Structure 1
Amino acid sequence: MLLHLAAFAAAAPSVASAQDGVSKATTHPSCFAASGDTRTSSQMASFSTRWTCEGGGWDASAPVSWIRFEKIDWQGETPPALFFTRISRFDEIELTAIDADGTTRSKTYSENQGRPIAAGPIFTLPLPAITDETRSVVARIAGPHSAPMVTEARLTTSTARTDWTVMQLLFLAMILGMLVTPLLFDINFYFVLRERFVVLHAYMALSMVLYVLFAGGLLPLFIPVSVSAMAIGASLSWAVGVAAAAFFFSAFVERGTLPPLVDRALRASGWWTLLVIGFASLQFDWSQSFDNTLYFISFVPVIAIYLAAIVVALVNGSRAARYVAAAWIPLILAASERLLRGLGVYAAPPSLDQLLFAALALEVVIVALGIASKYVAIRQDRDSARAEARMLENLSERDPLTGLLNRRALDDRFAALHRSGYETVALFDLDHFKQVNDTHGHEVGDKVLKVVGDVLNAEPDSVAVRLGGEEFLVLLSGTNAEIRVETLRQTIAVRVAREVDALNSILTASVGLIHVPLAGNPVADFGHIYRRADALLYEAKAGGRNLLASDTMHAQPPGSTVTAFAAQSAA
């Protein structure tokens, strides 16, 4: 991108000095007006009372907005050749040069004739011929979808003499690079420690990358793009990024620091942004009279809710909220300034958007630090949980036959293990084990139980427990838990057949597996979970044994499903 911009800088004509007669880069409007869609440029030029020439006078909700430029503003300068303004949707723009004797020359352009250029969020249109007799230029904008399209309109001598300098574009490219970096970081981070807030932050970063490309006017450097695509892309990418921020903040702060009511309001504001503001971003022809006002006004309650959520989380001692506050408050201030300009409260050049882009860069740096801090904290918690799990293995609360933990060791620690990521509970029972004891004696039965204990204890990221008799329980963390449990179930039959010579038949196992996501079950009751797993085990037994029955625990549990696996013959 920097190479593209450097080439652009090299190709751009240098700004001439005052001695060359072209010291002014742009010509600002003298007056504004708004009307219905029936008046012509000649008619408007003759109605001086309809024009406002001292601040204000712009109205993006009217069918037609008018802008007048007087010759006195470029007197003694090279006559302007181009009209340019902020990218926004419109129906038609008519540019009329009016001479002293009343002669007019007009050019009319449709939306798809606008030419976005890499000089900020603007597009240009050629003016009709400007002569020494030209006294004014009138722009008639039919169906404008934003107030800044009127307030930020200018005339210029060439595309090299617009509001943004090459250095400002280079600064914008640097910000774009800063936005891409945390996006790559999020992707790598998610593979190490899968947390939902990482995905949401990646959505935010991607949306802001698109926003800078569209709203910063960088996209035309790489591909031809229409005015409508630039206008919709900028507003929609910002809305999506702001919506993702609500869900990110809800998932990022520590559990319990956002009261349920505040958390629901925060999530609702995210959906509001996505649906209502996202709709206004599309700028349909039939919504021209209100979509600009709807877009910006709808951000007001969103900003209030975001600020309130930050304050509440800070008061409740959230460390994560400190990073968010430092990152978002400058961004909210810059966005509020852009909101006021968008509503037409005052006029300012589009180069003021550099404040918003700089705030974006600051946001990604600070939030990236917050995510890194959260990453370290989560890893420490999980390492502590695993250390505690290893410590449990050295306690006296063990089954003397298999060396596995017993029920007593599990009861007091189940909730802590669940919070640390052990979200899958698998209840094993050996099929027809009573026949082993009755036929071969308890010595052979004990040997079988020891082999089963060895098999279950060898599974990484798990805690194996003997509950009593031929019943075992395994807690698992990590992914692919059901596949891992099924592998254990089949391995039991193979290992027992190989290591217990006295048996003359294959000993199989049945399993009831229940997945208990931490997100939906923050306070896990082991007794309830055990009963659910036992019911699934009964289903597996009733289905013919040598099966695995699985289910996921929800707030309102759905019916369980039984997954049957073909019995494996012993090696």
Structure 2
Amino acid sequence: MGLLRILVAALVAWGLSASAPARAYTLDLKPMTCAGEAGSMEEAFALTREQLSCAPDRFDVRGPFVRSSTQLKTPLDSGLAWQTNAANFRSMLVRFTYADGRSRLVDVDPQMTARNWFPGNRFSVPVPSSQADLVAIDAVVERPFTRSVAGAARLTSLADSERELYSRSLAYMFMFGLLILPLLYDGLFYRVLRQGFVLWHFLMVATTSLFMLFSSGLVNEILPDIPLDLRWRLTSLFQALSAGCGAMVIAGLIEKRFLPPRLTMAMMVSALLPLIVKFIATFGGELTRITINNWFVFSFAPVVILISIVVAVALSRGSRGARWALAAMSGLMLVVAWRTVVAFSGSSLPFPINDMVFAGFVLLSLVTAIAVGDRFTGLKHEHDEAQMRAIRMGQMANTDGLTGLANRRAFDMVRTLKTGQGLLVADIDHFKQVNDREGHQVGDAVLCNVAGLLKGHLPAMDGREDDGSPGCVYRLGGEEFAAIVEVMEDHQLIALADRLREIVGRSGGEEGTAGLPQVTISLGVVLGRGQMMHEAFGAADRALYRAKREGRNCVRIGDADDCNADARVSQGSTTFGRAGA
């Protein structure tokens, strides 16, 4: 939360520093401005003062030509700039009237909004110099798309305008730079953990960055020839996309068990409303030219309300992600609520609200970036725990519950007996008699003892575990065991099997393990030549049963290529050779 406080403090400081020049050196013309409408440019300029409206709803006009007339209460010197909102319009004429009765007419084409752009979606029209003081300003706008084109005008000195342009441009570029970091983080997060909300956050930050680029006017430095109509439409499009992606991010940040399903679905559907209104605005033509902007602003209200409800419900259920969502959305929710009230009150938007909308989106992007990292850490921990559980479950599925050795299922997963490997199949002699005479509890102890002896004297080669690597010991079922070892020659394999037979034979009785009866084992072995494991096992199993038939407590070696090959018996200190030799 310390980083969050730093971000909030930085945004507040930026807002205060950026808006200070406007408060100290600008003159808001709205209180002194009256408005009217006409069918042509000439008719608009011909309107008398009595024909203009000075009522609170004076800017709520829908005619093709809108005139705003400002009578300055105090005459002003030269060196001024007239500024207004750079919303879409077709053409504009501004007439400056001076105390000596002269007037100067300035033709404002839409591309002047790019040439004389000003941070905060504004542009400047330099007031023509004159020896007389400026006393009145009349502007006629052809087909404006928002009321703010006529109602958001102000006067500022050129020197102060340049200083504000410099300071605000730096502030916007700084904030734009901050938005690049979450994009990099999202890319790294998504490579490690492919979660949908990380991708949605990437898209949200990307569209927020584009919205900032177009809304602030910085795009005019990159694309100075971009048409005003295209820039205005792309600005609102990126704003709508950013809000929609933001709703998906909020849904992803909150843990699923805390999300109310129906409200979440309603929230996602409501996120489409701004895009639908934007589509209507694109093809609505003259019928929706003025009103659609208010409806576009209003279309954000349902998604904000539903997000608030979803976050509130998740908070009541103890969601950690909901706390991050509330912190991220709080600024934007206040700004949208304020902007909606102002828009439907019939008045134009003050400039600070536009800046605050942008600041709200930036705050949303930065705080949710921290939340994505927090959620990523939690999901990564859950993912790692799930993997560990899967590994443990896999080990349990492949492990014999009594002896702790790998089981028959694990043995069947070994496909081939490679060259340089040997297979041993062992069986405890007369084990049924042990169970019948001593009881199953003692029989289980004998099985565990034999398993421990085999495991202890056949360590995993090269530090490998019981995964089918050479040196693995398996309990195939009952009193039957198998082992895969690394050997190159027959005599090495036979010697190893004989040593195991002797170790097991000495482990019980009076000189062996206390309390356990003495047992012996018979073994069938086969040398690996790249044959399939079921072939190798068949040969070793047949060799084992030959050992059983010929007296037990002995070793036989089989050949997978010659299933009927004879084998020599190893018993005591007898020398062994290949079966059939």
TM-score of the aligned structures, taking structure 1 as reference length? 0.61
Question: What one-letter code is carried by the residue in structure 1 that aligns with 2:306?
Answer: I
Which secondary structure state, in structure 1, belongs to the residue aligned with residue 271 of structure 2?
A: helix
Cα deviation 1:148-183 (Å, max 9, x = unaligned): 222221244538527945333322222222222111
Question: What one-letter code is carried by the residue in structure 2 that aligns with 1:198?
Answer: V
Tell me how far apart the structure 2 counterparts of residues 150 and 326 of structure 1 sit (CA, whole Å): 36
Query: What does residue 215 of structure 2 align with?
Result: 215
Contact kept? 2:36, 2:51, Cα under 8 Å: no
Shift of 1:499: 3.5
Is 1:250 the counterpart of 2:282? The answer is no
CA 158–41 in structure 1, closer or farther in 2 if over 3 Å, else same? farther
Shift of 1:238: 0.8
Which secondary structure state, in structure 2, belongs to the residue aligned with residue 111 of structure 1?
A: coil
Which secondary structure state, in structure 2, belongs to the residue aligned with residue 256 of structure 1?
A: helix
Structure 1, 317-326 or 103-112: larger mean CA deviation: 103-112
Tell me how far apart the structure 2 counterparts of residues 284 and 126 of structure 1 sit (CA, whole Å): 32
Contact kept? 1:34, 1:57, Cα under 8 Å: yes
CA 39–396 in structure 1, closer or farther in 2 if over 3 Å, else same? closer
Corresponding pairs, count? 408
Flag structure 1 segments of 5+ consecutive residues without an equivalent: 1-14, 16-22, 408-427, 431-442, 444-453, 460-465, 467-495, 505-571
Taking the TM superposition and a 5 Å limit, the aligned residue runs for 1:276-315 are 276-277=277-278, 279-280=280-281, 287-315=288-316
Shift of 1:141: 1.2
Taking the TM superposition and a 5 Å limit, the aligned residue runs for 1:434-453 are none
Query: What does residue 197 of structure 2 align with?
Result: 197
Tell me how far apart the structure 2 counterparts of residues 372 and 217 of structure 1 sit (CA, whole Å): 31
- Cα RMSD, aligned residues only: 4.2
Cα deviation 1:425-484 (Å, max 9, x = unaligned): xxx9x9xxxxxxxxxxxx9xxxxxxxxxx9x9689xxxxxx9xxxxxxxxxxxxxxxxxx
Is 1:498 the counterpart of 2:530? The answer is yes
Question: What one-letter code is carried by the residue in structure 1 that aligns with 2:379?
Answer: I
Tell me how far apart the structure 2 counterparts of residues 159 and 40 of structure 1 sit (CA, whole Å): 34
Shift of 1:210: 0.9
Contact kept? 1:51, 1:57, Cα under 8 Å: yes
Contact kept? 1:265, 1:305, Cα under 8 Å: yes
Taking the TM superposition and a 5 Å limit, the aligned residue runs for 1:54-453 are 55-59=56-60, 61-73=62-74, 75-78=75-78, 80=80, 82-98=81-97, 105-114=104-113, 115-125=115-125, 132=132, 135-158=135-158, 161=161, 164=164, 166-224=166-224, 225-277=226-278, 279-280=280-281, 287-343=288-344, 345-347=346-348, 349-395=350-396, 398=399, 403=406
Contact kept? 2:27, 2:155, Cα under 8 Å: yes
CA 502–85 in structure 1, closer or farther in 2 if over 3 Å, else same? closer
Shift of 1:345: 4.2
Shift of 1:187: 0.8
Shift of 1:44: 4.5
1:48 corresponds to which of 50, 65, 89? 50
Shift of 1:192: 0.5
Tell me how far apart the structure 2 counterparts of residues 268 and 103 of structure 1 sit (CA, whole Å): 57
Query: What does residue 446 of structure 2 align with?
Result: none
Shift of 1:201: 0.6
Question: What one-letter code is carried by the residue in structure 1 that aligns with 2:208?
Answer: M
Tell me how far apart the structure 1 counterparts of residues 534 and 393 of structure 2 sit (CA, whole Å): 33
TM-score of the aligned structures, taking structure 2 as reference length? 0.60
Question: What one-letter code is carried by the residue in structure 2 that aligns with 1:237?
Answer: F
Question: What one-letter code is carried by the residue in structure 1 that aligns with 2:338?
Answer: E
CA 61–250 in structure 1, closer or farther in 2 if over 3 Å, else same? farther
Tell me how far apart the structure 2 counterparts of residues 497 and 102 of structure 1 sit (CA, whole Å): 111
Contact kept? 1:175, 1:357, Cα under 8 Å: no
CA 118–83 in structure 1, closer or farther in 2 if over 3 Å, else same? closer
CA 40–51 in structure 1, closer or farther in 2 if over 3 Å, else same? farther
Tell me how far apart the structure 1 counterparts of residues 327 and 183 of structure 2 sit (CA, whole Å): 20
Which secondary structure state, in structure 1, belongs to the residue aligned with residue 141 of structure 2?
A: strand
Contact kept? 1:266, 1:305, Cα under 8 Å: yes
Tell me how far apart the structure 2 counterparts of residues 406 and 270 of structure 1 sit (CA, whole Å): 52
Which secondary structure state, in structure 1, belongs to the residue aligned with residue 306 of structure 2?
A: helix
Tell me how far apart the structure 2 counterparts of residues 41 and 98 of structure 1 sit (CA, whole Å): 18
Is 1:31 the counterpart of 2:29? The answer is no
Question: What one-letter code is carried by the residue in structure 1 that aligns with 2:235?
Answer: A
Shift of 1:50: 2.2
Shift of 1:502: 9.0
Query: What does residue 479 of structure 2 align with?
Result: none
Tell me how far apart the structure 1 counterparts of residues 133 and 392 of structure 2 sit (CA, whole Å): 93
Question: What one-letter code is carried by the residue in structure 2 that aligns with 1:181?
Answer: L
Contact kept? 1:186, 1:199, Cα under 8 Å: yes
Cα deviation 1:189-227 (Å, max 9, x = unaligned): 000111000000111101111111111222223331443
Tell me how far apart the structure 2 counterparts of residues 146 and 347 of structure 1 sit (CA, whole Å): 9
Tell me how far apart the structure 2 counterparts of residues 381 and 170 of structure 1 sit (CA, whole Å): 42
Question: What one-letter code is carried by the residue in structure 2 that aligns with 1:85?
Answer: T
Shift of 1:242: 0.3
Tell me how far apart the structure 2 counterparts of residues 302 and 208 of structure 1 sit (CA, whole Å): 17
Cα deviation 1:220-272 (Å, max 9, x = unaligned): 23331443233222211111000112222223321232222112201111222
Cα deviation 1:129-153 (Å, max 9, x = unaligned): 7563864221011211112222221
Which structure has the greater CA radius of gyration?
A: 2
Tell me how far apart the structure 2 counterparts of residues 174 and 168 of structure 1 sit (CA, whole Å): 10
Query: What does residue 572 of structure 2 align with?
Result: none
Tell me how far apart the structure 2 counterparts of residues 35 and 333 of structure 1 sit (CA, whole Å): 34
Tell me how far apart the structure 2 counterparts of residues 273 and 499 of structure 1 sit (CA, whole Å): 67
Contact kept? 1:175, 1:361, Cα under 8 Å: yes
Shift of 1:383: 1.6
Contact kept? 1:393, 1:405, Cα under 8 Å: no
Question: What one-letter code is carried by the residue in structure 2 that aligns with 1:332?
Answer: M
Question: What one-letter code is carried by the residue in structure 2 that aligns with 1:67?
Answer: S
Which secondary structure state, in structure 2, belongs to the residue aligned with residue 57 of structure 1?
A: coil
Cα deviation 1:379-406 (Å, max 9, x = unaligned): 2112212222232355376479994696
Which secondary structure state, in structure 1, belongs to the residue aligned with residue 256 of structure 2?
A: coil
Tell me how far apart the structure 1 counterparts of residues 396 and 304 of structure 2 sit (CA, whole Å): 53
Which secondary structure state, in structure 2, belongs to the residue aligned with residue 35 of structure 1?
A: strand
Which secondary structure state, in structure 1, belongs to the residue aligned with residue 35 of structure 2?
A: strand
Tell me how far apart the structure 1 counterparts of residues 284 and 79 of structure 2 sit (CA, whole Å): 34
Which secondary structure state, in structure 1, belongs to the residue aligned with residue 96 of structure 2?
A: strand
